[in-house]
Every structure is written in C-alpha cells, then in structure tokens.
Structure 1
Amino acid sequence: MFKKMTSALLVTALMSPMAAMAQTTGAPQPQAAGQAVVKTVAAVVQPADQVFTNAVVYTVDRNRNIAQAIAIRGGQIVYVGSDEGAKKFIGKTTKVTDLKGKMVLPGFIDSHTHASKTTGLIYSIDLFDGGSVEEYVATIKDFVKAHPNEETLQGRGWSNPVVPGIGPRKEALDEIDATTPIALTSDDGHSLWVNSAALKLAGITKDTKNPEGGIIERDPKTGEPSGTLREKAMDLVLKKIGGYTIQQYKSGIEEYQEKAVERGVTTVRDPDMLRYPNVLEAYEELAKENKLTIRFRNAVTANPDKGPEQVAEFVKIRERDHYPLFQVNAVKIFMDGVVEGATAYLEKPYEHKETNGELIWKVDNYNKTAAAADKAGFQLHVHSIGDASTRIALDGMEYAEKQNGAHDARHSLVHLQLVNPQDIERFKKLGAVGIVQPFWFMQEDGFYDEIEVPYLGQERAEKEYPMKSFLNQGVHIASSSDYIVTPEFNPLHGIQQGITRIAEGETDPSKIANPDERATLPDMIASFTIDGAYANHVEDITGSLEPGKKADLVVLDQNLFTTPATEIKDVKVLLTMVEGKEVYQAQKVEKK
C-alpha cells in the first residue's frame, strides 16, 4: 500500500476508491488507487493547528494525488495523506473537522480580474441587468433622480449586441440630461457611451480626428460624433471627467474580497494599476492596514504613448509594494480591442466592414517596451483578442528574449479569442502562458449569431477560444473571469463551461462551441489552481495542496469527479482558507 522513499520524512499513502473518479465527461482518473504519496515537512511531528479528515483531498500536485486528510500549522500545510497518518498531528488544542466525504481543493486563482472595478458598481450607474436602450435609459433616470447634484455621471454595463454597428447614440442621454457630462462604459470595457455635454467637455467635434488606436463613431449622414467612443478615444472623455477617490476604491476592493472568498477565490491578478488614478494607492493603503484577505499579484498598465522609459517607474512601484498579500509583478499591455467593437486586430478583414481592427501599440515601441520590462524582471500581461494581435505580441516576446536571453519569464497573453494554429507552438517555445476566460466558451445568445458570425464569418467564428490545442502542446493555460466583464465569476461555473462549451440548458450538440477544444475536469481544475499559480509566479507557495505550501484551500459540498459536468456550477463552497485563516464559512461542519 505504501510507496517507499529514501528519506527521513514520514511517508504515507491511501487508497482512493475508483468510483470517486467517475466523471460523466470521461475525464481521466488523476491517480490510480493506492499510489498517492504524501509526506510531512519534518520527521519530528508537532501538533497541528487544524486537521481536516474524512475528505476527498484533490491535491493537484505533480501526480494529481488524492488524499483523505490535511493538517495545517502556522498558516502552512504540514501533512497531506490518510486519516490514520493525520492522527500524529492531532494534539490537545488541534481543531479537528470531519468533512464526511466532502471535497478539498487548492484555493482558486483568478489570473485576470478587475477587482478594483467593483468600485464602479457601488458608486456609479450599473447597467449590467439591462437588455435594451430603453432599460438603460430607465436605470439612468432612476440614478439621476436619486443623485441630483452630481457634477458628472459615470457607469458601466451596456452591451454592444444591444446596439451593434456604431453603438448607442448621444441623443438618448441628452434627453435625460444635456448639461451634465455622462460617460457610460460598455460591459467589456472597450467602448464609452457619452452625451453631448461629455463630448463638449472633451472638445470632440466633427473635425476631431480619431486618435491613434481609437475610434470616434460618427453619424453616417452628418459625420458628427454619434455618442460612442472606442478604445483610446475613450480617454478623451475619461481624462476630463476624472475617477473615484482612494477611499471609494478601498471600499470597492474590500467588497470584491467578500465576493471572492464566497466563491473560493484566494489569489488574483488585477491588471488596472496606473490605468485609473487612485487604484494603486488604494491597494497600498489596504496592504499597510492589513485589510487584504486574499492574495493580489497585480499588473501596472503601460501607456502606448510612452516607451521603455516608463519601466523605471514600474520598478519603483514594485520595490515599494512588496507585502505578503499585495505585490506588483507584471506589466499590462493593451495590444488590441474587441470583436464586438470591430477593434480586435485580425489577420484578415472583418466581414461587415473594411478594417482589420485597431492595433493600439506601434510595433517598434511595443517591442522596445517589452524588452525593457522583461529585462527589469516583469512579466508581460498582454490583452490580445485577434490572431494578428497575438502574433505581434509573441513577436515582441521573442524580441525581448533575443535582447535579454532566455529565462523563466512566463509572459502571458490574455483572452485569445482567435489564434493562428501556427502560433500555438510558439507559446511553448517562448514559455508563454495563455490566460483564458472559459466563462465565454459558448455560442452565447446575443453575441454568437448577432456579432461573432456576422463580423468574423462562420469559419472564424467556429474556431474561437481554443484551449485544448494549447494543452495538447504542453502550454500552461490559466483560467480567469475578466470580472466585471463577467459579472458572475464563480470558478466552478468556469470549470463547467470549459468542459461543456455549451450554453446552460442547451441540448443541441451543434450548439457546442468549437467542440474539439473541450477540456477535461482535471484540465479545468488545474487551470484555476496550479497553472494559475504558475502564471502568477506563486506556485512555490500556493496552487496545490502539498506540505510546505500556504494553506490556501476550499471545501466543496460535493466531489466534482462524481458530479455531472452540467451541474458543477451548482456545487457549493462551504469554506475558504487563505494562509490557514478561515476567510469564509458557509455553514458549520461537525468537529470531533
């Protein structure tokens, strides 16, 4: 029953029933029964602070071992193994919890989430629940009535499929308030709906040229700005309107943390440092005040109007912000836009208009900035939707490697809606990481038939969002939500969507989105745990349940391997721990 090891460390193993691995999706069994090997940190056993027993502990370690028990001391895992072996760690003051067959996983990692944008949901107009311009207008009117003295009105959440083409018009907002500037960001964050007062504030007229990397949508008859701004054109208004205060951002981040731990999320990357005023300062204050409850490994946003000289500022930020739960270790690059705005940068033109989209960075400037960030030890964290954008992003990473030499950079590309198959091999060669949003892996109502097929054509639309192709090439793939673009960011929902790739309630097999790219359950769990840790350079402390790592874990009310794939999203998080601290508990579980 036990696998021998030439070590003084205590070695235990347990048998995991074959039935525990039954999965309707045909996911491979992570580890054969009787082969799970675990060890303690030291031969001399000291009592643990807490021990969980009688559980299905899916470790997500190198061998995908399954155990029964886990012991924690001083915020670290000191034992993973059998119930019998765990007895050595139980002392007079040890808190022992019988999980009665419930599942334990590493804490979930969301590798691209706009946590700080929760602030906007608190202090501005929330349009996410609207499904028409009329509903948006009604929501805005209610907000204006409740906030009659605002100098500007801001909000987020309108959807491009509701108003395709040139987007929503300024006239609808002018009828609400023609004198107070109104600026409303789309749900994907890449377009801005404004009224005439906002256009006037920014000095945008019929004669204003599109800024590089941006589009001012115009009335097709008059040429006047119609009320929608895309990509860098948004900044013309946003810079004039201003943002939220440090205290408001602190409140938003704290509210996000409450949402995160309820969903079992223990580590995230927020890529919005420096893109908006006061976000970085809010994180810094929360870190100093010990008010962070989950781990943040954030990214500063590089300005495409600047070059490699800006990296020196990023280094100073990284050096001063080195807290256990808050660090800045990446540089965010917006390489292109989004398909729904026809701003994602494609190898071939869009079907509905003569454009390949918008490349936000000049190639030479991107290459030099990428090389400078790489030399300074930062990860690149590149927003890339289109296939041409991804190729250029990879070219820049290759340029950086030639300039600085190969090293464990783990530069990442985020979203990857369309990817040339030839470039997937380059990810592996360059050691690049793909960060995807499995929540979007479906033929989504209102998007697929109304936006993606008409804009991209059927052939390209059918090849969206590859994942299994990356995994087959040995590329590390980390999952994320891109919250607040994805309002409900429960990783269990993302795991389900990555396996099924079909909309909830849909049974027609032809509605499976790019079915060859369906991942297995072990694939998806790894993408939200150990591969997410790898993507954020924290796999030495989290991402798997192994002795010596931080006790970041989540307890689920069901074993995912015996749960039908279409019901994974309904599994409940009962307990979330970060470094051994209980940061969320849904209900009391029996203690011995």
Structure 2
Amino acid sequence: MFAKKAASALLLASLLVPSIGHAAPAASGKSSVQPADLILQNGAVYTVDRNRNWAEAVVVKGDTIVFVGSTEDAKAYAGEKTKVVDLKGKMVLPGFIDSHTHASKTTGMIYTVDLFDLGSIEKYVEAVKQFAEKYPSEKAIQGRGWTNSAATGIGPRKEALDAISKDVPIALTSDDGHSLWVNSKALEIAGIGNDTPNPEGGLIERDPETGEASGTLREKAMDLVLKQIPGLSVEQYMNGILEYQKLAAERGVTTARDPDMLRYPNVLEAYQKLSEQDKLTVRFRNAFTADPEKGPEQVNDFIKLREANKGPHFQVNAVKIFMDGVVEGGTGYLEEPYKHKDTHGQLIWTPEAYKKTAAAADKAGFQLHVHSIGDAATRITLDGFEYAEKENGKRDARPSVVHLQLVNPKDIERFKKLGAVGIPQPYWFLKEPGFFEEIEVPYLGRERAEQEYPMKSLINAGVIMASGSDYIVTQEFNPLHGIQQGVTRIEEGKTDFKDIANPSERATLADMIASFTIDGAYSTYVEDITGSIEAGKRADLVVLDKNLFTIPASEINKTEILWTLFEGKEVYRSENFK
C-alpha cells in the first residue's frame, strides 16, 4: 500500500512541477539599425518559434518586431525617442490566440438576464423576476446561463417561468448554448403544441405522462422560438464586442475566432462597423454559421460576404457547422447509446447534406470549422473532410474539429492523414463538481466518462491542437487557466491522483503554450504574422509577472498578466506594471 501511495505521490509531483527550459537565447536577423520605438530588455522571452528558442530582448518599430535576441545586441536599436522597458526577468510570450470564442455574445451579458453561476431553478426564477420588474416594457425577456445539472432529464419546466409572466415570452438559453428554457407564451408564439413534431436536428422535451411540451427545447428546436422574438441591435452588439476586447486585453488575447456570423441577426454588421471605424484591438478571423436547411447553395452567399470583409483586423475565412449537440442535453451524437435513455443523441446535419456543404465550402477556399462532441459525430465530421478532399483535391485546407469530448482511438490517425486541426477547450479538462458525477457518469457510463478529451494522444499523433475557450460557455477565458488545466487536468486545490481527469492525456507546458499561440495562429491562417516572437511578425506581446517554466503547474492561473501589446500598441497595463 505504501509503495502505491509513494508512486502516486511521485507521479503527481512530476505533474505539478514542470521542468525548466534551458534553450539558449536566439537572435533574429538584424536587418536595420534605425532607431526603434520600443525595446523590451532583460526578460525571459519564450519565442515559441520552430525551435522553441529563448531570448532576452524584443525590439519593436511601428507594429512590427524587428529584432529578437540579447539585451546587449538590442541596444543598437536605441535612439533618442526609443522607449526602453527593463523587464527585470519577467516572462514575455506571444499574444494569446483563442481559436473558438463567442466574443459577440458578450452583448447578451450586458442586455439580457445573466444566469451564470446561480445554480438553481429558484435563483434563476428570482433573477428573471427582478429583470422583468426592472424592464416592464420589454416585449420579450431573454437570458443565458442556466445549467443542465440544475434540472437533469427533460430540463426545467415552463410552469416556473409562467409564474413570472404568461403574457410576455421568456426564452432563456443554457450555459452551453444548446438548450432553451421557455414559458407557455413563448411556446404559443412559436406554434408549439402537443402534436408539433420535432424539427430535423432538434428536440422538444415533453412531459413523460401527458406528452405536452414541458418547456425545454434542444438544438434546432430552439430556433422555433428564437425566430419569433426580437434580437439585439447592431449598436448593442458593437458595445458587446468592445466590452469583449477589454476583457481579452486583460487576459492577453490578441487574436480570436468568433463562429457566430449569420447565426444571429446584426452580429456581422456590428463587426463590419467596428472594422470600418478602426476600433478593433483583437484580430478576428471569424466563421459563418451554416444552416443545415440550406445546404451547399448558401456557400455562394458566404463568398460574397467574405469578399466584402477583408480588413486587417476582421475577416471571415471559415464555415462553422454544428454536427451534433452536447452530452448534458443528451444530444451529443455517440457510437454507443446513452446510459440514461435509449438514444444515440442528435445528429443535426444529415451526413449527405453535410458532405455536400463541406465540399462546396472547401472548394470555395473556406476552412471547415465543425462542432463535434460525440465520437460518432467526429467520425462523420472526418468523413466529410475526406469527401471534400476527394472531390476538390488535396490543399492546405486545415479543417478543424471543435470540442472533441469523445473520440474513437481509430479516428486519431485520420486527423493527421487529413491535415485536420483539433480545437479542444482545455478549461473543461477536469472532473467538474456538480457535473462529472451528476451528468457525465450517469449519461455516458463511467468508462466513457473517464476517456474524455484525448489531447495528448492527438498531439502524439502529430495533430496540430489549437486551444479555444468557447467563451461565454467558459466564463473565465484567461488562457493561463486553460494552460494550467491542460497540464494538470485536475480541479484546483485537489492533489489525489484519482481526481485527475483522464491522466494519460495531460499535455506538457510547452505544448499547451503552443496551443494558445503558434498552433492557434496556424488554425486561423495567421501564423505568418503572429503566434510567435520573431522578426517580421506583428508585435503582439504579453508580459507575465512569473516565468511559467519555473513555477508549479498548479500556480499557472495565479500568474498575473502585466502588459498586453497588440501590433505594438498598449491595450492593457496592470497597475502593478510600472
């Protein structure tokens, strides 16, 4: 028994104390000795270049890095107007890249009911009631953030919301964005009655005794209500995106992909206006959300819109496809049925319609960006990539699969063969209290629940893995939190080996940093301008108060981001950075 405990302790120690990098500093070619605008010197600069080199200094002129190397060599770039910052050993990383984030949904956090972290039906109802009293003239009450663990099975009931109002429609999106809790008025305006069939790719939850719509709608069934109530305005979305940029700067995020173009009215127009007004301080490479009812014909519209949006900070170069739902809603599409009910989940696209749409988007030069939770959904997703390649020929397509909660090991090699990029959310790599034992184990069975999120297996197979937060599903989207979870895969404060989520899938610190920098840049086709600290690239830089390679992995998320530069301009400075 003692030997087993000792072995576990040694293994956990190796998890929590990463090795220290000793790579020698590397100098990039000094093409000019013209005075620079900014010199960062005496730092621990982890370049994340091809050789993972370290340096001491970074020199910036305008929006571009012109030199990376030693502090002594950097002095040649100093002029009368050059600002010189002594980092005193602080760490410098490339600006972080969030490869899948719903930045525009920040708007809903401002203008609708915020239900995140309330945790119970009673608290949700009280929050909605207060909102209704504060805004009595609202034609519809909307909100987001309730969790499926507060009402497992068929989800929360309409009667709880009817007690607030039977005259004003109430529509509340779950924290994962895949379910909608509504009152009777919302069902009425959507025309949902006892005999209403489930829409293709959607599910109307029903009372098991009466068969009556119970108040929870899943996946495409959500649209039946959402299309009948007023959305948010262009100006509101603009304000939400601007607020997101403040949050992103505080977290060191300088590049992001928002996949919600065309899914909601006015989002695209908001980005367009901010781009025209030169108000974007995050480099957005977004995606159009494809509608399964429209098929490949919609790609022609995507092409026209892409050509109209080619600003340096806002472009739309991908097509987002929802292949399935989520495990907590019983709609993630699985090879073997769920344990709590006799279903494989919900496939939102028919395989044939998906393949044809994927091929059309690929032929038009779009990157495929596919939401896939279940192992069966991922298999079908890869089938579509394979079909597109067969139809159009092999190219630098970089099709991506987002989430990857369950993956059949046989499909891992297919990722590499097809040049597919994995975009996991390492923030979720833990046995989350109130979720793992309450939903994932009962719904999936313990064996499957213990095999989730195969990050390291994909990396070992040579697959590029670019991390994303899936904000606002993930409320705290600081990449340092994601990096820590990718390395430890354990709830903060816990140390027992049995509490680690799928421990064989823990990634190294270097791999996790790469997933939020250079690999994220690759996933959005911007690796030529950002993602690493190299001469000729944009000066997207983040200064940290500690070197991540010299602290326990369990303390990464306590590291402070002191300074964020986007293309050489300060977008965030901590009061602790003088």
2:309 to 307, 314, 321: 321
Q: Distance in 2 between matches of 1:512 and 1:425?
A: 25
Cα distance in 1, alignment partners of residues 364 and 124 from structure 2? 45
What CA distance in whole angstroms lies between the structure 2 residues aligned with 1:589 and 1:203?
57
Are the aligned partners of 1:122 and 1:252 in contact in 2 as well (CA < 8 Å)? Answer: yes
Give 1:495's aligned residue. Answer: 483
Aligned residues of 1:576 and 1:582 also touching (Cα < 8 A): yes
1:433 equivalenced with 2:421 (yes/no): yes
1:122 and 2:124 are equivalent in the alignment: no
Query: Match of 1:340?
Result: 328
How many angstroms apart in 2 are the aligned matches of 1:228 and 1:23? 45
Task: Give, in angstroms, the shift of residue 41 of structure 1.
Answer: 4.8
Q: Does 1:40 align with 2:29?
A: yes
Deviations 1:507-564 (A, max 9, x none): 2210100000001110110000000000000000000000000000100011111111
Residue matched to 2:3: none
Task: Specify whether residues 279 and 337 from structure 1 end up closer, same or farther in structure 2 by C-alpha distance, changes over 3 A only.
Answer: same
Partner of 1:458: 446
Report the residue type matching 2:56 in the other structure.
Q
Superposition deviation, residue 25 in structure 1: 4.2
Report the Cα offset of residue 382 of structure 1: 0.1
Alignment of 1:482 with 2:475, yes or no, is no
Paired AA for residue 232 in structure 2: Y
TM-score (normalised: structure 1): 0.94
Tell me if 1:412 matches 2:400: yes
Structure 1, unaligned stretches of length 5 or more? 1-21
CA distance in 2, matches of 1:206, 1:308: 33
1:435-459 Cα offsets, whole Å, 9 max, x none, are: 0000000000111101001000011
Following superposition, the deviation at residue 307 of structure 1 comes to: 1.3
Shift of 1:129: 2.3
Letter in 2 for 1:375: K
Map of 1:223-234 to 2, 5 A cutoff? 223-234=211-222
Q: Deviations over 1:354-377 (max 9, x none)?
A: 100010001111101100110111
For the Cα contact (< 8 Å) 1:298–1:327, is it kept in 2? yes
Report what 1:64 is aligned to. 52
- Conserved? CA contact 2:17–2:553, under 8 Å: no
Q: Please name the residue that 1:247 is paired with.
A: 235
Give the equivalent residue in structure 1 for 2:289: 301
Residue 30 of structure 1 deviates from its aligned partner by 4.7
Partners of 2:15 and 2:488 within 8 A in 1: no
Q: CA deviation at 1:499?
A: 0.6
- Identity, in percent, stands at 69
Q: CA deviation at 1:23?
A: 8.6
Alpha-carbon deviation of 1:288? Answer: 0.2
Offset, 1:103? 0.5
Work out whether 1:217 is the aligned partner of 2:205.
Answer: yes
Q: Structure 1 residues 406, 505: closer, same or farther in 2, change over 3 A?
A: same
Which of 537, 547, 558 aligns to 1:549? It is: 537
Q: Is the Cα contact below 8 Å between 1:31 and 1:64 reproduced in 2?
A: no
Equivalent position SS for 2:227: helix
Cα distance per residue 1:127-164 (max 9 Å; x no partner): 00211101111111111111111100000000001100
How far 1:308 moved relative to its partner? 1.0
Partner AA of 1:471 in structure 2: I
* Cα shift readout 1:277-321 (whole Å, capped 9, x = no counterpart): 000000000000111111000000000001111111111111110
> What's the CA shift for 1:40?
2.8
1:108-507 equivalence runs, <5 A: 108-507=96-495
* Matched AA of 1:343: T
> Which of residues 572, 575, 588 in structure 1 aligns to 2:563?
575
Q: Structure 1 300/553 Cα, relative in aligned 2: closer, same or farther at 3 Å?
A: same
Report which stretch shifted further, 204-213 or 579-588.
579-588
Contact 1:25/1:520, CA 8 A, preserved across alignment = no
SS of structure 2 residue aligned to 1:399: helix
Q: Identify which range, 135-144 or 164-173, moves more after superposition.
A: 135-144
**Quick check: 22-31 or 350-359, which moved more?**
22-31
Q: Secondary structure at the match of 1:172?
A: helix
Does the 8 Å CA contact 2:371/2:402 hold for their aligned counterparts?
A: yes
Q: Which whole-Å CA distance do the structure 2 matches of 1:223 and 1:39 have between them?
A: 68
- CA–CA distance in structure 2, aligned partners of residues 24 and 336 of structure 1: 34
Q: Secondary structure at the match of 1:38?
A: coil
Partner of 1:509 in structure 2? 497
Structure 1 residues 41, 302: closer, same or farther in 2, change over 3 A? farther
Gaps of 5+ in 2: 1-12
Which residue does 1:51 correspond to in 2? 39
Q: What residue in structure 1 maps to residue 82 of structure 2?
A: 94
How far did 1:587 drift?
A: 2.8
Distance 1:307 1:177 in 2: 38
Question: SS at 1:240's partner residue?
Answer: coil
Amino acid at match of 2:28: K
Q: Deviations over 1:171-223 (max 9, x none)?
A: 00000111100000000000000000000000000000000110000011111
TM-score w.r.t. structure 2 length?
0.97
**Amino acid corresponding to residue 39 of structure 1 in structure 2:** S
**CA positional deviation for 1:505:** 1.3
Q: Secondary structure at the match of 2:255?
A: strand
Counterpart amino acid of 2:70? S
Q: Could you tell me how far apart the structure 2 residues matched to 1:338 and 1:589 are? A: 42
Cα distance in 2 for partners of 1:558, 1:494 equals 17
C-alpha distance in 2, partners of 1:547/1:191?
47
SS of the aligned residue for 2:26 comes to: strand
Whole-Å Cα distance in 2 between the matches of residues 250 and 193 of structure 1? 27
Report if aligned partners of 1:30, 1:65 keep a CA contact under 8 Å in 2. Answer: no
What is the DSSP-based 3-state SS (H/G/I as helix, E as strand, rest coil) of the residue aligned with 2:466?
strand
Asked if 2 retains the 8 angstrom alpha-carbon contact of 1:30 and 1:522, the reply is no
| Poorly superposed stretches of 4+, deviation over 2 Å | 22-32, 587-590
Q: Counterpart of 2:93?
A: 105
The separation in 2 between residues aligned to 1:589 and 1:581, in whole angstroms, is 16
CA distance in 2, matches of 1:323, 1:481: 24
Distance in 2 separating the partners of 1:52 and 1:369? 48
Looking at structure 1, the residues matched to 103 and 372 of structure 2 have their Cα atoms a distance apart, in angstroms, of: 20
